Structure 1
Amino acid sequence: MTQHSALNPQLFPNWSHIDDVLLDMDGTLLDRHFDNFFFEEELPRRYAVLHRLSFEESRDRLMAMYRSVEGELAWTDLNYWTRRVGIDVVAMHKELDHMIG
């Protein structure tokens, strides 16, 4: 065992001094299945109706919008998406929140 691969207790957190732990992993705080349905199916469907587009064209436009802010805080901001796409995404999320599992 090398020095780098050995477990070093000094590198472990002192759990007696930690009150909160945030685990930001898919399936922990977020439901990836719901997110995929919401952003890749339901929002494109409603956007298509609003703009009289085919589902495929709507999804392509939205995917380009998503990529334009990927990695930025706006990506996770439902109010941002409401303004950007012209659909009340916040209300839509509340309408469908029974699907979050």
Structure 2
Amino acid sequence: MIIYIFTRDDTVNNMELKDNKYYLIDLDGVILDTSYDNHFWQVHIPDVYAKKKSISMEDSIKVTHSLFNYKKKTKDWYNIDYWSNILDIDIKAEKEKKENMNRMSYKEGAIEVLDKMKKLNKELYLVTNAHKKTLEIKLQKFHIKKYFKQMICSHELGYIKEDIQFWHVLRTKLNINYSKSLLIEDTMDNISSAYHAGLRNFIYITDDKETNNKVNAQYIKAFSELASSF
């Protein structure tokens, strides 16, 4: 078992990341910038809803954000079919509008890390809570499928990553050894559930200097910091 512990003043150059066999990598917040998703759900959808219902933007934000918060940390939260039905808005069509597609972007340096790992023949798995339709939309713009042995959407396994059971099902599906696996995540709840399912090697991407590191996850500010570690 390898557990990495370091502070923000340390470099990642000494991390023996190459000793892991399997790399489980999150999508949003790790490879892709989350500003697109935040704007889409917090601003764009309330705007569409306000026009549809002929209400003010202020009232629309109260209604939609209340609905979103009620479903936070559930499967429905990530399910665009669910939200299309609840809001009577074609969420997929809204996501595919040019104005929204243009907002999607890589995290700086993310592709360079993936390129390096690919050249070293690392076994990579994309593990995301994004709904399959959401992933497919993003793959229209970002050609990252070539880097991964498999791309897993939690919705397809019946559990989200915040649920311990998800990680048990994932291990069986991928047939991998968690003691030789590294999870790269930007959500501590997901790391915590993975830890309780037997995973022990983590990289937590965060800007929070006050992170309560209960599972000995190493933390860095950006995926790009790993480029020098392989």
Residue-pair matches, total? 88
- AA matched with 1:91: A
Higher helix share: 1
- In structure 2, the residue matched to 1:56 is 58
Q: Work out which of the residue numbers 77, 98, 102 in structure 2 matches 1:98.
A: 102
- In structure 2, the residue matched to 1:79 is 81
- In structure 2, the residue matched to 1:4 is none
| 3-state SS of 1:22 partner | strand
Cα deviation code 1:5-43 (max 9, x no counterpart) = xxxxxx228624x2xx23237521443211111011110
Distance change in 2, residues 1:65/1:93 (3 Å): same
- In structure 2, the residue matched to 1:12 is 2
- CA apart distance, 1:68: 1.1
- AA matched with 2:2: F
| 3-state SS of 2:102 partner | helix
- AA matched with 1:12: I
Report the TM-score, using the length of structure 1 for normalisation.
0.77
Distance change in 2, residues 1:78/1:25 (3 Å): same
- AA matched with 1:90: K
- In structure 1, the residue matched to 2:118 is none
Identity across the alignment (%): 24
Higher strand share: 2
Alignment root-mean-square deviation, CA: 1.9
Distance change in 2, residues 1:80/1:30 (3 Å): farther
Report the TM-score, using the length of structure 2 for normalisation.
0.36
Unaligned runs of 5+ in 2: 4-18, 106-230
Unaligned runs of 5+ in 1: 1-10
Equivalent-residue separation in structure 1 for 2:32 and 2:73 (angstroms): 16
Equivalent-residue separation in structure 1 for 2:75 and 2:32 (angstroms): 16
Equivalent-residue separation in structure 2 for 1:51 and 1:29 (angstroms): 36
Q: Greater Rg, structure 1 or structure 2?
A: 1
- AA matched with 2:93: A
Runs of 4+, deviation exceeding 4 Å? none
Higher relative contact order (CA 8 A, sep 6+): 2
Equivalent-residue separation in structure 2 for 1:76 and 1:30 (angstroms): 16
